[in-house]
Amino acid sequence: MKNSRSLILLWIQLLSFAGVLLILFTHLPVTEVDSIKAAETGTSTTVYLPLVFSPEPEPIMLGISPRSFWLPTLPDALTQEFASIDAWSGKRLSLACIYHSFDQEEVVSNMLSTIWDSGYTPFVNLATNQFSITEIVNGKMDTQIRAWAKAYAVFANGGKRMAYLLPLQEMNGNWVSYGSSNPEYFKKAYQRIVNIFAAEGVPSNSVEWIFAPNGKSYTGWPDFESYYPGHAIVDGVAFSSFNYGYHPTNPYKRWENPEDIYTDFIDRIHAVTLGKPIFLAEMGTTAYGPNGYDESLKNQWLIDAYELYTRLEGVRGILYYNDHNRFDWSFYRPDNQAVFPGYITGISNDLYKYVSPAVLRDMMVDY
């Protein structure tokens, strides 16, 4: 089992408690009038402050899905996007989003280790385009899962490294091979993957298991809440949603503000998970508004979105989809210097902080 709270947070709480005790025994005049009365009567007027403990809010981590998708060369993404965005924005990214398949075990250890050693924590969407959910439940993908888990155990290095893993993301959609209208099949498949990782010796403190449905289920399928595998094996929840606006390729043209997109989903997640941390695994906006391409609209959307996340309870990480292939999601593109400073304004809140992989590993909570 993971630690209920890291030693770091425990020491912070103990030091805060000691400081309050010190103040508690400090004698202070209540008011200026009381001080005068005390001088006249020769008595001493003191007040004891109440015992109040206000824990520091947990930081919100920033991350991206890079335009390069890491391939063909990993260092290029780290240098051209991650390091460049860190320098440009003034705040370092914490999370590095990856899209991996269970048949790519040969690159797992090297890729994840390089990301970790560069100061970012891997956030891995882990799927397949070969097997149906029924085949996964019946064990037909076990060989691939075991190979990936063994490679991951090498990366984990006995618990010295960790990553977020999102098995079979967007399972409530028909656009993935394992998509299913039967949530019970998905729950069994999710549990099977978790069990295989444990059997292959992956330390429990080296994985944060994330439930990652699509924000909206395929037409006629159950809502995403029905697919939730349960508190015992889920450490956090992630979902994806975008503002497609009036982009020329969007058939349903409308401008959606962050409040319209995210608040309902997050309220629904809280109702099911009862306090699990929440991640926006993919988020982004177009710059196409009702009057055409408008950079000011995108900048304001970014400001509003990142301000909103600081007010929504339980949000622990935001990974922006910084790709520009089909839609104009990117807020930073080093190839042609197209940048949107609304991102910098949006993340100016002190809650947005860099958390190193090692510190994040030690802060992991078993919810």
Using one digit for the tens of pLDDT, what is the confidence trace for 95-132?
999 998 999 888 888 889 999 999 999 999 999 999 99
- Give the span between the Cα atoms of 365 and 315, in whole angstroms: 15
How much is the mean pLDDT over the chain? 85
Evaluate if residue 208 carries a pLDDT over 60.
yes
**151 φ/ψ angles, rounded to the nearest 5 degrees:** -65, -35
Range in 63-72, 311-320, 323-332 the model is least confident about:
63-72
Residue of higher predicted confidence among 76 and 164: 164
Query: Residue 162 is encoded by which pair of tokens?
Result: 């960790």
pLDDT of residue 366: 44
Cis preceding-peptide flag for 72 (omega within 30 of 0): yes
- Amino acid code (one letter) for 327: F
Range in 104-113, 307-316, 340-349 the model is least confident about:
104-113
pLDDT of residue 151: 96
Alpha-carbon dihedral sign for residues 281, 312, 245, 301: negative
Evaluate if residue 318 carries a pLDDT over 80.
yes
pTM above 0.85, yes or no: no
Of 322, 316, 318, 321, the closest CA to residue 360 belongs to: 316
pLDDT of residue 365: 52
Q: Tell me the helix, strand and coil percentages in the chain, rounded to 5.
A: 40, 15, 45
The neighbouring-strand residues paired with 352 are 60
pLDDT of residue 334: 75
pLDDT of residue 70: 63
pLDDT of residue 323: 83
Q: What would the mean pLDDT of 329-357 be, rounded to a whole number?
A: 91
Contact 316, 281 (CB under 8 A): no
For residue 139, give the 3-state DSSP assignment. coil
Of 159, 314, 170, 295, the closest CA to residue 236 belongs to: 314
pLDDT of residue 78: 87
Residue of higher predicted confidence among 240 and 348: 348
For residue 218, give the 3-state DSSP assignment. coil
Query: H helices of the chain, where?
Result: 7-24, 32-41, 74-77, 84-89, 108-117, 133-137, 142-156, 183-199, 258-273, 295-309, 342-346, 357-363
Q: What would the mean pLDDT of 315-331 be, rounded to a whole number?
A: 90
Range in 156-170, 197-211, 332-346 the model is least confident about:
332-346
Of 149, 140, 143, the closest CA to residue 167 belongs to: 149
Per-residue CA distances from 183 to 13, 217, 226, 229, 306 (Å):
41, 11, 6, 9, 32
Helix or strand run (H / E) with residue 164? strand 163-167
Alpha-carbon dihedral sign for residues 134, 140, 143, 146: positive
Mind listing the pLDDT tens digit for each residue in 237-294?
Answer: 998 889 999 999 999 999 999 999 999 889 999 999 888 999 999 999 999 999 999 9
Question: Do the strands 332-333 and 338-339 form a parallel or antiparallel pair, or are they unpaired?
Answer: antiparallel
For residue 158, give the 3-state DSSP assignment. helix
For residue 284, give the 3-state DSSP assignment. strand
pLDDT of residue 347: 98
Q: What would the mean pLDDT of 313-333 be, rounded to a whole number?
A: 90
Evaluate if residue 74 carries a pLDDT over 80.
no
Mind listing the pLDDT tens digit for each residue in 16-71?
Answer: 444 433 333 333 343 433 443 444 444 444 444 444 445 678 899 999 998 866 65
Q: What would the mean pLDDT of 192-202 be, rounded to a whole number?
A: 98
Percent of the chain with pLDDT over 70: 81
Residue of higher predicted confidence among 72 and 120: 120
- Give the span between the Cα atoms of 297 and 289, in whole angstroms: 7
Which of 4-13, 79-88, 89-98 has maximum average pLDDT?
89-98
Residue of higher predicted confidence among 189 and 215: 189
Question: Do the strands 236-243 and 278-285 form a parallel or antiparallel pair, or are they unpaired?
Answer: parallel
Query: Residue 77 is encoded by which pair of tokens?
Result: 């993404």
